[in-house]
Each structure stands twice: as C-alpha cells, then as structure tokens.
Structure 1
Amino acid sequence: MDELPIGRRVAYWRGRRKMSQQVFADRLGKSKSWVDKVERGVRRLDKFSVLYEIADILQMDVQLLLGKDPERRADALNCIDQVEVQEIRAALERYDSMSAYFDAAPYPPPLDDMRKAVNHAWLTYQYGRYGMLTRALPKLLRDAQAADAAYDGEHAAEAAHLLGQVYQIASSVLRKLGECELAWLAADRSMAVAQRADDPLLAGIATTRVCNALVAMGRARPALELNVQIANRLAPGSSEVSPAQLSVYGMLLLQGAMAASRIGDSASVDDLINGAAEAAARLGGDHNHYWTSFGPTNVELHRAAAAVELGDGGRAVEVHQLRIVEPAFNALLPERRAHHLLDIARGYAQIGDVANAGEALLRGDRLAASEIRCRPIAHEVMSDILRRTRGAPPSPIAELAEHMGVGV
C-alpha cells in the first residue's frame, strides 16, 4: 500500500468507505472530474490543506493517506471510528423480519455457520479485541437478522436466540466504546428477540445489557429497579436449579449493585452483592454460562467496582488485595481481568496512589489493550495520573498515554 501513488491511495480508501466518486466530490466541494484525475494521477495533490480535508472526509490519519506510519491515536488500531459506528447503526436499523412478512424471506445463512460466528464474536469480545469485533459486527448483524427473518418451524427459536446474542454482543462493545444510545438500542432489540426465542435466561441477560446502557446514560435508578425485578422472577428456589439459571440470576444482582452504587445506595449494594455471593457459592466455581463469567471471583470484582463507584477507593484496593485469589483471577478471560484492573486503577487514583494506578493500567493494557486504550473512563484515569505525577511520568506510562492519545 505504501508504494502506491497518493491518487491510488485516495481511490482505495474512498472504496473502503463505500463512497462513489460523485459523493466524495460533493463532500469535498470539487467536481467528479477533479476526483477522477487525482485518482488516476493526472492531477497532483500538493496542498496540505486539501490533503487534510480529504483525510477528514475519509475518516483516517493523514499520515496513512501519505503512505507513512500513522500518528498514534486511540482509534487508530484497537478502537472504533465513526464510519464503523454508522455501519453498525445501519445494521441495527434494518427490519428484515417485517420485510419477510410481506415478501419472500431472504436466503438465510446456515444455522451451523451462524452458531460458529456468534461463538467467535463472543470470544472476540471476551478477549478484549474490540476493533476486530466492531469491524465484523455489521455483517454479523445482517446475517443474524436474515436468519431470524427466514427460518420458521423448529429452527425459528434458535435463529431468534442467535440474533438475540448478536444484539447483546453489539450492546456490550458499543457501551464500552462510549456509544451509549446505540448500546441501548441493541440491548432493547435483544430483549424483544429473547421473548420470541422463548428463553427466560436469554431475556435475563438481555436485561443486564439494557440496564448497563441505562446506567451509562445516567439513568441508574430505573436500571436498578429493572435488574431487581427480573432477578426476583428468576430467583432459584430451594430445589435443584441449573448452573445457567444461577449464573444469570447472579449477574442480574451484580448489575443491580452497580446501578445502586451510581446513586450512592450502599445498603442496596451490599444486599445485592451478598445475594450474588450466595448464588456463586451454590454454583461452586467460576463458569461462563450464557457468557456471564459468573462465579465467586466475578462477585469480588464487582464488589471492588461498586466500591470505586461509591468513591471508596481504599475499600476497592482492600478487596483487590485480600479477597481476590490470584489463580482464580488469572483463569478469567482477558476482558474481565483488564476491566477489573481499570477499576482498581480508579481506586488507587481515588486514594492518591498514582504509581499503583499507573501500574494497574499497564497490567490491563498487557492483557487486553482495547479495554484500556479505547474506553473513555480509562482516558480519564490516565489524565488524572499524568496531572498528579510530579515531574516527568515513567516512560512506560508516557508511552501508554501516547498510545491512548492522552497528552502528557
């Protein structure tokens, strides 16, 4: 790619962004003929002002357009750009099931292929590879929607189940990357589909996604009420209960606790986390039923996270140091561990220990770089660390800050 003339690079990236020459010319304020000549190398691109304008329209780094190594940016490799956001939005706004009601259903992808693709997407998320996931999501959403619209009879419930999972994956990664309204839309779609899939546990996990999005949008109280309401409906009785039900029930309680921490309701936080701890003890270990990573270790991670949200960084650090067993923690998937280390970095920052806060970010970055480099809350922590560090920050911190796009 680097050896291509600049006009060919413009044509390549214009094609990647799915823009016609006319659309590109209109956005640039030039004629289609001008664009065609630039792309064929007949006309030179020698004005930096025009180059920067082209790079802005193509949503890319101008250095990459010039065939050089791009400047380090938070969204250059691991995160999401606005073109991808719009593609995901377009996929979420499709109504294949309604079209299929009036017309013949589209030819669907085989359900075996869909199962593999959905499982791969979950693992991509739980390994913290958000950039890879967001690039794959538009097609995955379209395929899952087509399957849900086309399959009927004995396959209808499974197709709906797979679509519900894809919506949940989309909601989770979009919330982490700061696209809260789209995260809520995807989660809301997931709840509706879960009802058609006739799976109360899928609906329960969909509820946690909705509530997470509500919390991110500043609506913690309705999120708390909804989590508790659905948790009560799925509460296990004294008789034998499935591990999956215990996991979903426990996650509803944990997400309720996180919502309660946002409104400073420490009593509810304690009650809900203790209830989740009872479910985890009954489960007997850390598992990944319904992609929850639920178990005793995850309960302690949420205990620390809730303490941070309540402003009690000291308590969060205490939980981290005394209550989390290292072998069990190390057995969790990278996203969970990196997320916890980000929470602990916040806890250390709250008690003024910027050195350990920075070390926690570095550890999280080594586990799942996107969890640290892409999340807005991580940028806030890094800015706080840099502001409170006396003199020049240690070189590993300065380098990570540069990767994150946070000014030193």
Structure 2
Amino acid sequence: MDLPDDLPMNERIRLLRESRGMSRAVLAGLCGRGPDWLKKIESGERDLDSFTLLMRIAGALDVGDLTAITGPAPLVQPVRTGRLSHPAVPAIWSAVMERAMVPKQSGPVDVAALRGRVEQSWRLWHTSGHNRTEVGALLPDLIRDAEQAVRSTDGATRREANVVRSDVYRLVGQATAYVASPELAWLVADRAVDAARDADDPAAIGCAAWNLGNIMRETAYPGEALRIVVDAASQLRPHLDDGPEDWRGIYGALHLHAAVTSAREGKAGEAWRYWDTGNEVAKSLPQNYVHASTVFGRANVDFHAVSVATDLRSSSKALNLADDLDPDVMPSVERRSRLWVEITRGHLQRGDTTAALHVLTKAHRISPETVQFTPSARSAAAELWRKAPRALRGEAGHLAEAIDVTPPG
C-alpha cells in the first residue's frame, strides 16, 4: 500500500491488516497474542516497543520492509520477513496434487523396500544440516510411490502401505514447515491422518496427530492443537502395556507437544504437568531409546524442559536447565540446533546479546537450514542485528545475512 509518510504506526498496522482481509483475532493469533492486545496497539493505547513482535506482525502481514509499518524512520532498516520459500517446494506440491489425476498402475509395490526408503529419509532429516534441501529432493518420488503402493495392494499389505504413506506425509510436513503455503501444510497433515486411520494403526494415528498438532499450533490454533494431541494420547494409553516401545515413545512425544503448546499460552501449571508425564514415560524406556521420527527419548525430554521454561519467559530457569545438558547426546542435528535456538531466546530475554549471538552462531554452524527456516531463530537473528553491541555488529550482520534475514550488502 502507498501510505502517507506521516501516518502513525498504529494506523499503518490497521490499514495493512484490513487491506489483507484479516481480522484482529487472526493477526493477533499469528503473533502469539490475543485480539485485545492488537486492539490496543491499533488504537494507539499501547506502544509496539518489542522488535520481536514487530517482526511477527511484519511476517504475518507478508511485509518485506519494516518501514511499511514503522514509517520512514531513519533508524529502521529493511528486513526480509515475508513468507519463506524453498526451491524444493514446487516439485513437492506437484507430487501432492498429482494423486487424483494419476491412473492406477498395474503391478505390486514392494512396501517393505518403500518403508526402508522412508526410514532412511527420516534419518537424513535428523542428521543433515541441510535437511530441507536433501530430504526435499527425495520427497516427490516418495509421495508418488507411497500413493501407488496403496493403490496396488489390498488387505494387510494395504494397511501396511497406508502406515508408510502416513509416514511420508508426516515427513513432508516437517520438511515444508514454514516454507509451504497454508494450503499445502493443511493438506499433507490431513492426508497423514487419513492414511493412519485407513491403516487402523494406533501408533500411526498418534504420530499423525502429533504432526497435525504441529501444523495447528504454528497456524495460530493452539487450543485445537492441544485438544488433538491430548485426545490422541488418551486413545493410545490403553495400548501401552501390550504395545511395543515405540508406542510409549509416541505417547511421550504427544505430552511434550502439549507441554510446549501450554507454555506458549502462558499456562505454567499445565505445561509442567504435561512435561512431567513425558518425563515419566522416558524413565520407563531404555536410557538410549530414541523414537525414529519424533526423537522422543531422555535427551529430548530434557531439551523440552528448556523450551517450556523459555516459552514461559523463565529465562533463568531455562538457562540453568541448559547448563546441565550435554547437547551431543541428542542424535538429531536438527533438534540439537533448535536447543541452541531456545538458549539464544533465553539470553535475549535476559538482555545478554553477546551470549545470544555466540549461541545462535553455534546453532547455525550445527544446522544452517534449521536456523534459516525456523521463525524463532530468524526473529532472534533480526533482534541481534538491531541490538548487538558495536563491537559485534559486524558478526551479527553476517549471521543475519547468512540466513537471509537482511538484504545482502
């Protein structure tokens, strides 16, 4: 929009929101806040003095230059905050949309071999620092082959093929998080759930619910996300005594999801109760147990304690918990990098930009794409770019440019 230079920030936000047809509730939800908060911002009753929240509003409004919101203030620099993209997404989208148009092919599909390929792809997701690029290149063929496996089989083999198909779409959800359109995110989450239900497999249903919960939480439906994962855990609970270890792993992962979701809503009591359940599940499993896709296990439970404390803005507790961890025991490179992002957030909450910059640089070194495509990491990088001490501005600028938060040069 072509807004007058002298238009105040609150009016700019309101006009930009209305021009996109967004309600206050939707925009506020995308920023992790309530509609009353946004109403006060837009009316001028409350100042928007948090750079992190300013970044969130810009991202939600798909604004690539913060001056569209702030006005031509001399101290504000342009920031790339609109919807993220990745070159793997168009081919993935094409494969997802082909299902209804591809005729049934003759000949069986080796479901066991397909399962092996999917398991290898999950391992690649957790071990590569460039996981979106490397896994994204594999996904189109996996999607097509999974769909063909279901079309070309029947009976027990078809149920097994549906479990594999659900796993494929869950992996698609992970690999395209934050870079796909909402339509693709919802579609692949729904297909994962449908395939798991068609398989009538409790573990697959639990994993699909965990995946759907991720999508709902990140698209501003935390209440629904919490309900889905809690319901899925309740349905899985009767099967735990006679089921394999992985069923307990999924049950624990659902509770960790609920813990983070509650923490982001500021519900400390609920968050720690859900975390406690996940902790008890981890204690009942072997010390070295790790679920293949959710990476639930002892280390991930401990990592989630840091996330819960950070989301509750208990930075001292978060950093104290982090001090007692050995990140290298986590086999997932992606999850290890995200831990350092959480620690970065804790340091920023305390105003320690020097420590935050050091830690976020470490997270980027471990997994560049995790930092580049995780909104909390990008917000932290932008905040550091703005607030870093003079002696560290060059380093903060290089990091921001490396993850495409700032224009090069």
Aligned residue number for residue 263 of structure 2: 261
Q: Is the 8 A contact 2:385 2:393 kept in 1?
A: no
Amino acid at match of 1:308: T
Residue of structure 2 aligned with 1:243, choices 245, 253, 264: 245
- Distance (Å, rounded) in 2 between the aligned partners of 1:181 and 1:353: 39
Report the secondary structure of 1:402's partner residue.
helix
Number of aligned positions between the proteins = 325
Q: Is the 8 A contact 2:229 2:255 kept in 1?
A: yes
- Distance (Å, rounded) in 2 between the aligned partners of 1:113 and 1:228: 33
Task: Give CA deviations for 1:32-54 in whole Å, capped at 9, x if unaligned.
Answer: xxxxxxxxxxxxxxxxxxxxxxx
Residue of structure 1 aligned with 2:305, choices 290, 303, 310: 303
- Distance (Å, rounded) in 1 between the aligned partners of 2:134 and 2:176: 13
Aligned residue number for residue 90 of structure 2: 86
Aligned residue number for residue 362 of structure 2: 363
Shift of 1:120: 2.1
TM-score normalised over the length of structure 1: 0.73
- Distance (Å, rounded) in 2 between the aligned partners of 1:296 and 1:180: 33
Task: Give CA deviations for 1:257-299 in whole Å, capped at 9, x if unaligned.
Answer: 1111222111110110001111110113242334221122211
- Distance (Å, rounded) in 2 between the aligned partners of 1:172 and 1:286: 24
Amino acid at match of 1:163: R
- Distance (Å, rounded) in 2 between the aligned partners of 1:208 and 1:374: 20
Report the secondary structure of 1:158's partner residue.
helix
Aligned residue number for residue 196 of structure 1: 198
Amino acid at match of 1:121: S
Query: In 2 relative to 1, CA 357–172 (structure 1 residues): closer, same or farther, beyond 3 Å?
Result: same
Shift of 1:181: 4.2
C-alpha RMSD of matched pairs (Å): 2.7
Aligned residue number for residue 223 of structure 1: 225
Task: Give CA deviations for 1:211-232 in whole Å, capped at 9, x if unaligned.
Answer: 1100000000111111111112
- Distance (Å, rounded) in 1 between the aligned partners of 2:383 and 2:351: 10
Q: Is the 8 A contact 1:160 1:194 kept in 2?
A: yes
- Distance (Å, rounded) in 1 between the aligned partners of 2:288 and 2:224: 29
Query: In 2 relative to 1, CA 207–241 (structure 1 residues): closer, same or farther, beyond 3 Å?
Result: same
- Distance (Å, rounded) in 2 between the aligned partners of 1:216 and 1:288: 24
Query: In 2 relative to 1, CA 294–194 (structure 1 residues): closer, same or farther, beyond 3 Å?
Result: same
Q: Is the 8 A contact 2:341 2:363 kept in 1?
A: yes
Asked whether 1:354 is paired with 2:353, we answer yes
Report the secondary structure of 1:235's partner residue.
helix
Structure with larger Rg: 1
Aligned residue number for residue 336 of structure 1: 335
Query: In 2 relative to 1, CA 237–170 (structure 1 residues): closer, same or farther, beyond 3 Å?
Result: closer
Aligned residue number for residue 122 of structure 1: 122
Task: Give CA deviations for 1:90-133 in whole Å, capped at 9, x if unaligned.
Answer: 3223335x976xxx545555334412321221112112411122
Task: Give CA deviations for 1:335-374 in whole Å, capped at 9, x if unaligned.
Answer: 1101111111112111111122112212212221111123
Query: In 2 relative to 1, CA 350–179 (structure 1 residues): closer, same or farther, beyond 3 Å?
Result: farther
**Which deviates further from its counterpart, 166-175 or 150-159?**
150-159
Q: Is the 8 A contact 2:146 2:161 kept in 1?
A: yes
Amino acid at match of 1:122: W
Asked whether 1:148 is paired with 2:150, we answer yes
Q: Is the 8 A contact 1:170 1:186 kept in 2?
A: yes
Report the secondary structure of 1:284's partner residue.
coil
Q: Is the 8 A contact 1:286 1:294 kept in 2?
A: no
Amino acid at match of 2:96: L
Residue of structure 2 aligned with 1:213, choices 175, 199, 215: 215
Report the secondary structure of 2:176's partner residue.
helix
Report the secondary structure of 1:280's partner residue.
helix
Aligned residue number for residue 280 of structure 1: 282
Q: Is the 8 A contact 1:348 1:356 kept in 2?
A: yes
Alignment of 1:34-113 (within 5 A): 80-81=85-86, 84-96=88-100, 104-107=104-107, 109-113=109-113
Query: In 2 relative to 1, CA 253–395 (structure 1 residues): closer, same or farther, beyond 3 Å?
Result: same
Unaligned runs of 5+ in 1: 1-73
Residue of structure 1 aligned with 2:236, choices 231, 234, 237: 234
Amino acid at match of 1:363: K
Query: In 2 relative to 1, CA 306–330 (structure 1 residues): closer, same or farther, beyond 3 Å?
Result: same
Report the secondary structure of 2:266's partner residue.
coil
Residue of structure 1 aligned with 2:187, choices 185, 188, 191: 185
- Distance (Å, rounded) in 2 between the aligned partners of 1:240 and 1:197: 19
- Distance (Å, rounded) in 1 between the aligned partners of 2:155 and 2:237: 31
Amino acid at match of 1:235: R
TM-score normalised over the length of structure 2: 0.73
- Distance (Å, rounded) in 1 between the aligned partners of 2:105 and 2:280: 47
Unaligned runs of 5+ in 2: 1-79
- Distance (Å, rounded) in 1 between the aligned partners of 2:261 and 2:107: 42
Aligned residue number for residue 16 of structure 2: none
Report the secondary structure of 2:98's partner residue.
coil
Shift of 1:88: 1.9
Report the secondary structure of 1:332's partner residue.
coil
Report the secondary structure of 1:278's partner residue.
helix
Report the secondary structure of 1:169's partner residue.
helix
Aligned residue number for residue 375 of structure 1: 374
- Distance (Å, rounded) in 2 between the aligned partners of 1:277 and 1:368: 26
Shift of 1:242: 2.8
